[in-house]
Amino acid sequence: MSHGGRFVGGGEVSHSNYASALVIVVSALAAIGLVAVTSATAPLDRSIFDDSIWRAAFGRQGLFLCLAFVAIAVTAAVGKRLMADSISRRRTCIVVFVVSIALLLAVFIPGLSMQIRGSQRWLKIAPAGLGVAFQPSEFAKLALVCFLAYLVTERTADLRDFRRGFLPCALAIAVCAGLVGKEDFGTACLLVAVGFLTLAVGGCRLKHLLLTGMVGLGGLAILLVGTPYRLKRLTSFMDIWSDVRGDGYQPVQSLVTIASGGWLGTGLGAGIQKHGYLPDSHTDFIFSLICEETGVLGGGLIISLFAVFVWLGWQVSCSARSSFERVLAFGLTAAIGLQAAMHIAVVTVVTPTTGISLPLISAGGSGLVICCVMVGVLVAIAQRGAARSDEMMA
């Protein structure tokens, strides 16, 4: 009997299976990430276990991974209760967005933020010796989608009305993208893309979206042209081979790393490019490293897992219990799926180089935990959709 499910095992997949499938796919991606980060950072002269657990990349990523899965469980449990109460979810969306803006502004306050390789994106949350920091731009992805879902579905103003419905949403996107874009152009582009897709699903007028999109592209162009190194990356992208030791170094090395893997790869831990040739092989170019060590087979597996994740997120959105949950599920799925697509596009030199991590796989605590909070919300929506389906079947 069908109740909105899809094909698996010759029958139908019930809504209740979407939550479990999401956790399985995310677990697979996170496990691959732990192995890839360990390989990318493994020293040549000693064991990865010689350092203390917090000093070793393997230990740090493992601890972040444990925290991330706790976040999935907690968010799923709390999310189901919050979404059942319209007042609570409205307050939560507003508070989360306001906190996100405050954190983004705090990055520019001396003493609160920290600068890494010339980029000021992190807030100190522990003594400097521990090397623990929080990246507010990661939280902004979650906050913006939640706030837009509220504006689109919970307010009395019609989204098709430009001044009272559409404009507040566009301003929310502009504020987030503007604050993030000063230090992180790639994430700013992601926020704009996710925001506009969320509004499109929410039912805005196409002409409003196109008009505001042109204004948004102008704003992104200002962020690009206003920073010399970003403009240099764009011009070098037009011909990466003209300066292989300068501006074209990263994209060229990324392509070399991917090509070195062939069909089956060099083997886990046997990659060469991570040893001083490919910068940021554990974060911004981790997909290249995976392709080198596991070949086309490993790279294809990553892409397939993200494709399955996006499909599951779409199914969760379609089976959501309310319009708020439908838009929220779509926005969160788009945020993770588009970020993965952007990362792969950068490392394969389809787009200019920009620092954007591969969700659930790249090293880092902020991105991993916030991404799993998003997954927790998707699980909560899927479970509520399953409960509604069961009620209708009873």
| Cα–Cα distance measured from residue 386 to residue 80, given in angstroms and rounded to the nearest whole number | 12
For residue 45, being part of any structural domain is answered with yes
Distances (CA, A) of 34 to 51, 180, 211, 343, 384: 17, 27, 43, 17, 31
| 3-state SS, residue 385 | helix
Q: DSSP characters for 72-121?
A: HHHHHHHHHHHHT-HHHHHHHHHHHHHHHHHHHHHTTSTTTEEEETTEEE
Domain tally for the chain? 1
pLDDT tens, position by position, 16-50: 689 999 999 999 999 999 999 999 888 776 666 66
For residue 82, being part of any structural domain is answered with yes
Is the predicted pLDDT of residue 8 greater than 80, yes or no?
Answer: no
pLDDT tens, position by position, 314-349: 999 999 989 999 999 999 999 999 999 999 999 999
Distances (CA, A) of 313 to 141, 183, 274, 280: 16, 30, 33, 30
pLDDT tens, position by position, 74-111: 999 999 998 888 888 899 999 999 999 999 999 888 87
Is the predicted pLDDT of residue 9 greater than 50, yes or no?
Answer: no
| Helix, strand, coil percentages in the chain from 3-state DSSP, rounded to 5 | 70, 5, 25
Burial of 4 (0-12, 13-18, 19+ CB in 10 A): middle
For residue 68, being part of any structural domain is answered with yes
Is the predicted pLDDT of residue 352 greater than 60, yes or no?
Answer: yes
For residue 59, being part of any structural domain is answered with yes
Residue 146: the pLDDT is 96
For residue 81, being part of any structural domain is answered with yes
Cβ proximity of 366 and 138 under 8 Å? yes
Is the predicted pLDDT of residue 382 greater than 50, yes or no?
Answer: yes
Structure tokens at 105: 């502004």
Among 82-91, 121-130, 209-218, 374-383, the minimum mean pLDDT is found in 121-130
| CA quadruple 201, 204, 208, 212: dihedral sign | negative
For residue 221, being part of any structural domain is answered with yes
Closest residue by Cα to residue 233 from 285, 186, 291, 289: 186
Residue 118: the pLDDT is 61
Burial of 393 (0-12, 13-18, 19+ CB in 10 A): exposed
Residue 50: the pLDDT is 61
Is the predicted pLDDT of residue 10 greater than 50, yes or no?
Answer: no
| Cα–Cα distance measured from residue 258 to residue 260, given in angstroms and rounded to the nearest whole number | 5
Reported confidence tier of residue 161, pLDDT bands at 50, 70, 90: confident
**pTM greater than 0.75 (yes/no):** yes
Reported confidence tier of residue 53, pLDDT bands at 50, 70, 90: low
pLDDT tens, position by position, 249-272: 889 999 999 999 999 999 988 889
For residue 166, being part of any structural domain is answered with yes
Place of tokens 């998707």: 378
For residue 204, being part of any structural domain is answered with yes
Residue 375: the pLDDT is 97
Supply the range of the domain harboring residue 286: 15-393
* Helices 365-393 and 286-318: angle between axes, nearest 10 degrees: 30
Residue 2: the pLDDT is 38
Reported confidence tier of residue 391, pLDDT bands at 50, 70, 90: low
